Amino acid sequence: MKLHEYQAKALMKQYGIPVPNGGVATSPEEVGALAEQLGGKVVVKAQVHAGGRGKAGGVAVVQGASEAQQFAASLLGKNLVTHQTGPEGVPVEKVMVEEAAEIQKEIYIAIVIDGATKSAVVIASESGGMEIEEVAESSPEKILRVPVDPVLGLQPYQGRKLAYGMNLKPELIRPTAELAVNLYRLFIEKDCSLAEINPLVITEDNRVIAVDGKVNLDDDAAFRQKELRGQRDIGQEDKLEAEALDFDISYVRLDGDVGCLVNGAGLAMATMDVIQTVGAEPANFLDVGGGADEEKVKKAFSIILSDPKVKRVLINLFGGILRCDVAARGVVMACEETKANPAIVARMLGTNSSEARQILQESGLNVVLVETLKEAADKLKEVR
């Protein structure tokens, strides 16, 4: 789950990380009032669950209340399209107003989970800001990485090492090192999958301040972060992904036209690879989960079919705890309910697979049954 910038910054503030003074508003008038209160130069920022706002015209530094109000009016109620959103963009319903920082330098710090070291890793760079992806590409030596021992946590010496590595002035070493340790505490205590400050700014008067803030929460820890879960903004989420999440289905929408119904995350990944080997693109990742029942399979299949891009579907199930006949009934129910009749290639092996095949064959659906993944791939080409 993603938090908005204003929510992320409120958390950061709780953890002793300096953030600019400001607030959030839902109307141009409120934005004007906030800007008036803050006085002087302010920055007005669209609050959306996507980065790249700066380049997309979602951020402006303005002088005074009326300019702030005007810019807010141009954002609110519209969709913002950035390089991280789809072409339709995401709706802007809230706008943040903050005292503008006088920027001397933009640096970068983030914490993510690193699969390779099986730990959290702090990533930092002396060149932060909107071109961070380019820095990572063209001067990877400028990106520092410090893996964190999960038992010991981020040690003060590691924070200092990062700060020195970023070539900061001596008086900035300590506040930056402390900030790194505080960000790590936040990351762990709030069960984050990402905590990022880009840019972390060195101001003209030599303070370190988080000018942007991004926090993503690990959905698997939702049960112990109830308060933060209450901050979820469904309006920012992909409708189908949000629906799937509510039914505990792992579903990620992609750009292709082949819907996939699979049980098990590993099998789902392998299935997507197979789809690509025949020159097709998956429309989604979907792991219906081991303990799914008819209802859940029906829901999963309905979600797949609700994506207008889906022209054909590959079902790849290995029946274990989820019996194949149960899955087959769910699929048939979904097609009946949605009145959809897509071309389906189905590979169902394992428990009760023969019942499943019979159910599908007698369903009147446009389905081709296969035994192997190779066959599935070949058939997929035919049902294009």
Where does this chain bind ligand GDP (CB under 6 A)? 43, 45, 51-54, 59, 61, 100-101, 103, 106, 129-130, 198-199, 211-212
Copy the structure tokens of residue 112. Answer: 């993510």
Which of ligand GDP, Mn ion, none sits in contact with 340, Cβ below 5 to 8 A by type? none
**Catalytic residue among 5, 98, 106, 196, which?**
196
Binding part of the chain for Mn ion, among 204-212, 218-226, 280-288, 311-319 by CB under 5 A, reads 204-212
Phi, psi of 202 (to 5 degrees): -95, 120
Q: In 3-state terms, what secondary structure has residue 182? A: helix
Which of Mn ion, ligand GDP, none sits in contact with 253, Cβ below 5 to 8 A by type? none
Give the span between the Cα atoms of 186 and 216, in whole angstroms: 11
**Catalytic residue among 108, 184, 251, 294, which?**
108
Considering the rule CB under 5 A, would residue 5 count as an interface residue with Mn ion?
no
Whether 108 is a known active-site residue: answer yes
Nearest to 257 by CA among 279, 288, 224, 226: 279
Q: Give the total residue count for the chain.
A: 384
CB of 304 vs ligand GDP, minimal distance in Å: 31
Give the span between the Cα atoms of 21 and 102, in whole angstroms: 13
Nearest to 315 by CA among 248, 383, 255: 383
CB of 101 vs ligand GDP, minimal distance in Å: 4
What DSSP assignment string belongs to 2-54? BPPHHHHHHHHHHTT----SEEEESSHHHHHHHHHHH-SEEEEEEE-S-S-TT
Site string for Mn ion, 172-201 (x = CB under 5 A): --------------------------x---
Pick 212 or 294: Cβ nearer Mn ion: 212
Which of Mn ion, ligand GDP, none sits in contact with 43, Cβ below 5 to 8 A by type? ligand GDP
Whether 184 is a known active-site residue: answer no
In contact, 119 and 153? CB cutoff 8 Å: no
Which of Mn ion, ligand GDP, none sits in contact with 346, Cβ below 5 to 8 A by type? none
Nearest to 213 by CA among 359, 1, 12, 2: 12
Which of ligand GDP, Mn ion, none sits in contact with 57, Cβ below 5 to 8 A by type? none
Q: Which residue is nearest to ligand GDP (CB)?
A: 54
Catalytic (active-site) positions: 108, 196
Contacting positions for Mn ion (CB under 5 A) = 198, 212
